[in-house]
C-alpha cells in the first residue's frame, strides 16, 4: 500500500511551487515589456544625440582651414564616455571623431538607420546632400545592466515568498484541520468497549459525512452486540426456572426410591442438572461482564464491599478456610458496579478453593493502593498454560469440575472496568501456589 500523504505537506508544497511559478511567469512578462520600452527610449535618445551633434560637426568641419583630415575632439577633462561618434565623408574617410572613439567598432558601410553589433547599438544619419555622415555608438552593456538589475530586484522577494508561503499554508491547513485532529484523538483515546457516538462538532463538511457514517456504523455495531448479549442473558435467565423445577422434581423422586441402580441414575441426573444450572449462571455472569454497565453512578468503598462478600461466601461454605486481610483503617472508593465486583471476587475465591490444595486456607487481601490479591497453595502452573487461562473454556486442572469460564468472566470485568489483572505462579515470595492480582 502507498503510504498516505499528509494534506499539510501536499498543499504546502503544491501552493508554494504554484506561487513561485506564477511569480516567475509574471517576472518574465514584466522583463519582456520593460526591455522593449527601454530599447525604444534609449534608441530615441541615441537618434536625438546624433541629430544634435551633426550641425555642430558640420560647422566645425566647414570652418577648418587646413586640409580635410581627421581630427579628434578634445575632451574637457578625461572622462569615460558612454556615447562615441564618428563623422565621415561619403567615401568613408574620417573627418571627426569623439575623443575615445575606436573606428574599428563602427559599421564599415554608411547606414542611415539603427543597427546593432554584438557590443554596440548604432544610429547613422547623413547631412549636406549626403556628403557628411555621422554615426553614434552606444554600448549595449548599459541596457543589459538595467534589465538585469530590474530582474534581480523582482527576483529577490521570492527568497522571502517561498518560505512564507510554505509556512503560511502549513499553519493555515493545520488550523483548518484542528477539529479533524481532535476527532482523531477522540477515536484513539476511547476504550475498547466504548461504542458511543463520537462528537462531530466543527468538522469540515468533507469529513463530517465520514464521521457521521462512522457513528452510524458504531451504532449498528453496538446494537448488534447488545442484542447478542441480551440474548445470552435472557436465555440464561429463562433457563433458571425450568432447571430449578427439574432439580426439585428429581430430588422429590429420589426420596421415594430405595438405594439401587435406579437411585444411582437419579443421582447422576441430579448432578447433570446442577452442572446445567452452573452453566446458565456463568453464562449470565459472562453476559453481564462483557456488556456495558460495569460502572455505577455513585462511588463505594471496595474494602467494605469485599468484607461483606467474603462473609457471605464463608457463611454459605463454612467448611472452607478463607483469611481476609484489610488495612487497619481507610477506604478505597471506586465507581465499579457492586454486582460486577461481587462476581469477580466470588469467581476468584471459587477458583482458589476449587483448584487450591485441599484443606489449605485461601488468603485474600486488599491494599490501600487498591490491589486485590487472592493467594492459594497449589502446584506451579507452567507459564505457557498460565498465559491462556483467561480465554473462554480453557482449563488446566481437569481433575475438578468446571467450565473454564471463571477467569474469562473476571478478565472481562477487569478490562471493562479499566483495571488490570496478573496471574502469577508460583506466588510472589513462595516456591509454589497461585496468586491473582487485580489492580483497580
Ligand X SMILES: Nc1ncnc2c1ncn2[C@@H]1O[C@H](COP(=O)(O)OP(=O)(O)O)[C@@H](O)[C@H]1O
- Residue 395 binding: pick among ligand X, Mg ion, none (C-beta 5-8 Å cut-off by kind): ligand X
User: In 367-423, which ranges are continuous DSSP H helix?
Assistant: 383-386, 406-416
356 touches Mg ion (CB under 5 A) = no
**Cα 158-162-165 angle, rounded to 5 deg:** 125
Whether 183 contacts 197, CB under 8 Å: no
Q: Cis before residue 160, ω within 30 degrees of 0?
A: no
DSSP character for 382? P
Which x/- pattern over 386-425 shows residues binding ligand X (rule: CB under 6 A)? Answer: ---x-----xxx----xxxxxxx-----------------
Residue nearest to ligand X (CB): 406
- Residue 416 binding: pick among Mg ion, ligand X, none (C-beta 5-8 Å cut-off by kind): none
One of 16, 334, 351, 415 touching ligand X (CB under 6 A)? 351
- Residue 198 binding: pick among ligand X, Mg ion, none (C-beta 5-8 Å cut-off by kind): none
Residue 106 CA neighbour count, 13 Å, CB half: 26
Helix (H, G, I), strand (E, B) or coil at 371: strand
CA–CA dist 377, 379 (Å, integer): 7
User: Minimal distance in Å, beta carbon 173 to Mg ion?
Assistant: 56
Tell which phi-psi region holds residue 359, choosing left (phi > 0), alpha (psi between -120 and 50) or beta. Answer: left
Stretch of 9-17, 44-52, 190-198, 349-357 contacting ligand X, by CB under 6 A: 349-357
C-beta of 26 vs 357, nearer to ligand X: 357
C-beta of 246 vs 394, nearer to Mg ion: 394
C-beta of 283 vs 407, nearer to ligand X: 407
- Counting residues that bind Mg ion (by CB under 5 A) gives 2
C-beta of 338 vs 397, nearer to ligand X: 397
169 touches ligand X (CB under 6 A) = no
Residue 329 CA neighbour count, 13 Å, CB half: 0
Which x/- pattern over 360-389 shows residues binding ligand X (rule: CB under 6 A)? Answer: ----------------x-x--x-------x
Among 433, 274, 410, 413, smallest CA distance to 355 is for 433
Residues 6 or more apart from 49 whose CB is under 8 A from it?
Answer: 83, 85, 123, 136
Which x/- pattern over 56-95 shows residues binding Mg ion (rule: CB under 5 A)? Answer: ----------------------------------------
Site for Mg ion, residues 395 to 434, rule: CB under 5 A:
406
C-beta of 280 vs 351, nearer to Mg ion: 351
Which whole-number Å values give the CA distances from 208 to 7, 199, 305, 356, in the listed order? 17, 10, 46, 56
One of 132, 306, 352, 419 touching ligand X (CB under 6 A)? 352
Query: Where is 317: in which H helix or E strand?
Result: none
- Residue 352 binding: pick among ligand X, Mg ion, none (C-beta 5-8 Å cut-off by kind): ligand X
CA–CA dist 118, 263 (Å, integer): 128
C-beta of 39 vs 278, nearer to ligand X: 278
- Counting residues that bind ligand X (by CB under 6 A) gives 20
Alpha-carbon Rg for the chain, nearest whole angstrom, is: 51
| Residues in touch with Mg ion (CB under 5 A) | 351, 406
| Residues in touch with ligand X (CB under 6 A) | 351-352, 354-356, 376, 378, 381, 389, 395-397, 402-408, 434
Amino acid at each position: 500500500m502507498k503510504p498516505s500523504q499528509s494534506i499539510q505537506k501536499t498543499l504546502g508544497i503544491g501552493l508554494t511551487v504554484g506561487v513561485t511559478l506564477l511569480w516567475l511567469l509574471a517576472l518574465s512578462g514584466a522583463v519582456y515589456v520593460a526591455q522593449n520600452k527601454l530599447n525604444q527610449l534609449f534608441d530615441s535618445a541615441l537618434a536625438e544625440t546624433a541629430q544634435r551633434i551633426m550641425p555642430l560637426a558640420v560647422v566645425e568641419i566647414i570652418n577648418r582651414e587646413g586640409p580635410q583630415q581627421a581630427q579628434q575632439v578634445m575632451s574637457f577633462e578625461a572622462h569615460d564616455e558612454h556615447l562615441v561618434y564618428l563623422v565621415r565623408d561619403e567615401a568613408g574617410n574620417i573627418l571627426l571623431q569623439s575623443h575615445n572613439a575606436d573606428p574599428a567598432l563602427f559599421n564599415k558601410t554608411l547606414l542611415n538607420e539603427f543597427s546593432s553589433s554584438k557590443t554596440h547599438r548604432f544610429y547613422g544619419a547623413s547631412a549636406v546632400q549626403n556628403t557628411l555622415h555621422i554615426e553614434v555608438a552606444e554600448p549595449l552593456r548599459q541596457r543589459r545592466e538595467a534589465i538585469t538589475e530590474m530582474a534581480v530586484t523582482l527576483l529577490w522577494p521570492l527568497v522571502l515568498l517561498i518560505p512564507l508561503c510554505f509556512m503560511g499554508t502549513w499553519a493555515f491547513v493545520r488550523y483548518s484541520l484542528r477539529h479533524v485532529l481532535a476527532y482523531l484523538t477522540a477515536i484513539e483515546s476511547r476504550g475498547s468497549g466504548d461504542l458511543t457516538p463520537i462528537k462531530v462538532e466543527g468538522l469540515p463538511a468533507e469529513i463530517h459525512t465520514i464521521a457521521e457514517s462512522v457513528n452510524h456504523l458504531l451504532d449498528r455495531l453496538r446494537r448488534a452486540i447488545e442484542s447478542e448479549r441480551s440474548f445470552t442473558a435472557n436465555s440464561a435467565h429463562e433457563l433458571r426456572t425450568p432447571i430449578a423445577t427439574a432439580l426439585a422434581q428429581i430430588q422429590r423422586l429420589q426420596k421415594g426410591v430405595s438405594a439401587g441402580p435406579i437411585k444411582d441414575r437419579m443421582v447422576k441426573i441430579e448432578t447433570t442438572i446442577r452442572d446445567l444450572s452452573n452453566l446458565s449462571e456463568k453464562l449470565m455472569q459472562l453476559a453481564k461482564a462483557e456488556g456495558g454497565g460495569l460502572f455505577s453512578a455513585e462511588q463505594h468503598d471496595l474494602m467494605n464491599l469485599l468484607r461483606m462478600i467474603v462473609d457471605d461466601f464463608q457463611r454459605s461454605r463454612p467448611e472452607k478456610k478463607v483469611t481476609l486481610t484489610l488495612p487497619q483503617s481507610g477506604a478505597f472508593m471506586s465507581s465499579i458496579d457492586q454486582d460486577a465486583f461481587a462476581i469477580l471476587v466470588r469467581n476468584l475465591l471459587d477458583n482458589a478453593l476449587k483448584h487450591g490444595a485441599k484443606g489449605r486456607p485461601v488468603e485474600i487481601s486488599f491494599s490501600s493502593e487498591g490491589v486485590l490479591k487472592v493467594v492459594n497453595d497449589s502446584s506451579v502452573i507452567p507459564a505457557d498454560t498460565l498465559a491462556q487461562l483467561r480465554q473462554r473454556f480453557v482449563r488446566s486442572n481437569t481433575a475438578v469440575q468446571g467450565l473454564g469460564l471463571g477467569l474469562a468472566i473476571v478478565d472481562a470485568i477487569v478490562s471493562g472496568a479499566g483495571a488490570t489483572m496478573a496471574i502469577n505462579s508460583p506466588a510472589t515470595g513462595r516456591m509454589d501456589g497461585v496468586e491473582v492480582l487485580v489492580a483497580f
